[in-house]
Amino acid sequence: MKSVRVGLMGLGTVGGGTATVLLRNAEDISRRVGRSIEVVRAAAREISEQTIFSADSNVKLSDDAWDVVNDENVDVVVELIGGYSPARELVLKAIENGKHVVTANKALIAMHGDEIFAAANAKGVSVCYEAAVAGGIPIIKAMREGLTANKIEWLAGIINGTGNFILTEMRDKGRDFADVLAEAQALGYAEADPTFDVEGIDAAHKLTILASIAFSIPLQFDKTFTEGISKITTEDVTYAEELGYRIKHLGVARRTDKGIEMRVHPTLIPEKRLIANVDGVMNAVLVQGDAVGPTLYYGAGAGAEPTASAVVADIIDVARTFESATDNKVTSLGYQTGQEAHIDVLSSDDFVTANYLRLSVDDRPGVLADVANIFAEQGISIEAVIQKEPEHEGDKVSLILLTQKVQEKKMNAALAKVESTNISDSVTRIRVEQLD
Ligand code: HSE
């Protein structure tokens, strides 16, 4: 029986992992598919340095990815280059050439997914992207298929391994931000541009995709609110712990009466929640469905073989359709073409969350009353207060406040007044989620 012929674009961390897993597990995979899966073509920028395929293998190597999408012997193109362009052009060309596509590229799907899925639909080929979100966790399959009976109410995820690795090392070992980031890069966790990890862009790409599946809405990356972790200090980590919380970089998508919140930001989570204890490069996604209740998915969010696990699963899914008499009716985002829900995505002014605030104030009587008055003007209730002793007389003191849930617009107005009246030059604000 003919094998399913794969063309790989990109032989970096994930490309290397994909080739390794396909070769190592070839026997099990062909038992599951009913055919063998064979890499026939591979492209990488530095082809002379590649060591994955031995010199005597049948894999044709090239330093030009266009050779892969235009190779008539390739059935499935696997895009592991990353970034928006030329990934978009290559994928669209592969589809035009009648090839199925598997990609780990979250930026590509979040930005251009609707265009790519429409092209694939018109051509009758599949585009699969399980590895684009949460590395090895099969969250796309879980949401698009396993939870498809549910109305999804909200989801919250730690969906960037690099960011979680940094926060964990800072908390557990007091390590320096830049030092941990360098290690994440060396381990192959970080994006080509690591600001995508630390500023939340990578997580926003992933959240955009999850929200689209959860709420049957088109992909709207430009409407996802994004705040990174680069301003989190070890002080905040310590104060959060004193209050019984952990700081995690969370992606949250929530259905509200007014519309959908899509937001990525550092978040205080009660330490007793399972998701607050997801550490290192591990990812987790908590999904609340109306029928099933809360479900939690956990696993490695980055790295060569965990991500390859998802890439190869997608190749297998595509390969199985070669053997199947029926069409695969699970659409790319889970809803049928033309059946998208028309629900507004809310602007950040309309988000409603509780907040952790750290102010740096003069050590004088009445300062807390001044802050409380400003908050009262906006109808903001304070839930807890911690005031730290100054190290030396005359030093500013840290004032830590936890607020109850409040509309973001009101919180912003209060913080602007605290800053403009010089009660505190700047305020650190971290949103709080109970996730119960
Ligand atoms: N840079 C990403 C992360 C890789 O750290 O999660 C996996 O998408």
Dist. CA 310 → ligand 1 center (Å): 13
Dist. CA 206 → ligand 1 center (Å): 10
Instruction: Write the CATH number of the domain with boundaries 4-135+304-328.
Output: 3.40.50.720
Per-residue pLDDT, 360? 93
Dist. CA 172 → ligand 1 center (Å): 21
Segment 111-126 mean pLDDT:
97
Per-residue pLDDT, 388? 83
Per-residue pLDDT, 52? 81
Distance CA 79, CA 87 (A): 7
Question: Given ligand 1 and candidates 158, 166, 191, 206, which is best to mutate, with the most ligand atoms within 8 Å of its CB?
Answer: 191
Token pair, residue 244, equals 């019984």
Confidence of residue 210 (pLDDT cuts 50, 70, 90): very high
pLDDT digits (tens, 9 = 90+) for 8-67: 999 999 999 999 999 999 999 999 999 999 999 999 988 776 778 877 688 999 999 999
Per-residue pLDDT, 258? 96
Dist. CA 260 → ligand 1 center (Å): 25
Q: Could you identify the atom of ligand 1 that is nearest to the CA of residue 302?
A: 7
Task: Cite the beta strand spans of 44-119 per DSSP E.
Answer: 60-62, 76-79, 100-103
Fold for 352-432, please state it. Answer: Alpha-Beta Plaits (3.30.70)
Q: b/e for 339-357, b at 16 or more Cβ within 10 A?
A: eeeeeebbebeebbbbbbb
| Residues ≥6 apart with Cβ < 8 Å to 323 | 33, 34, 35
Average pLDDT, the chain: 94
Q: Could you identify the atom of ligand 1 that is nearest to the CA of residue 162?
A: 5
Rounded to a whole number, what is the distance in angstroms from the first to the last CA of the chain?
Answer: 52
Dist. CA 387 → ligand 1 center (Å): 37
Among 119, 116, 105, which residue's Cα sits nearest to residue 9? 105
Instruction: Write the CATH number of the domain with boundaries 139-300.
Output: 3.30.360.10
Token pair, residue 278, equals 């997801």
Residues involved in catalysis: 206
Residue ranges lining ligand 1, Cβ < 6 Å: 135, 160-162, 189-191, 197, 202, 301-302
Q: Whose CA is nearest to atom 1 of ligand 1?
A: 190
Q: Could you identify the atom of ligand 1 that is nearest to the CA of residue 184?
A: 5
Segment 97-109 mean pLDDT:
98
Per-residue pLDDT, 56? 67
pLDDT digits (tens, 9 = 90+) for 391-409: 887 789 999 999 999 999 9
Distance CA 384, CA 103 (A): 46
Q: Are strands 406-407 and 76-79 parallel, antiparallel or unpaired?
A: unpaired
Among 37, 187, 25, 48, which residue's Cα sits nearest to residue 102? 37
Q: Could you identify the atom of ligand 1 that is nearest to the CA of residue 194?
A: 1
Q: Could you identify the atom of ligand 1 that is nearest to the CA of residue 191?
A: 1
Token pair, residue 256, equals 């509200």
- Entry pTM: 0.95
Question: Given ligand 1 and candidates 137, 201, 202, 278, which is best to mutate, with the most ligand atoms within 8 Å of its CB?
Answer: 202
Distance CA 81, CA 246 (A): 34
Q: Whose CA is nearest to atom 4 of ligand 1?
A: 302
Per-residue pLDDT, 214? 98
Q: Whose CA is nearest to atom 7 of ligand 1?
A: 302
Per-residue pLDDT, 59? 93
Distances (CA, A) of 162 to 50, 113, 198, 266: 25, 24, 8, 14
Dist. CA 161 → ligand 1 center (Å): 5
Q: Domain coordinates of the chain in residue numbers? A: 4-135+304-328, 139-300, 352-432
Question: Given ligand 1 and candidates 168, 169, 189, 279, which is best to mutate, with the most ligand atoms within 8 Å of its CB?
Answer: 189
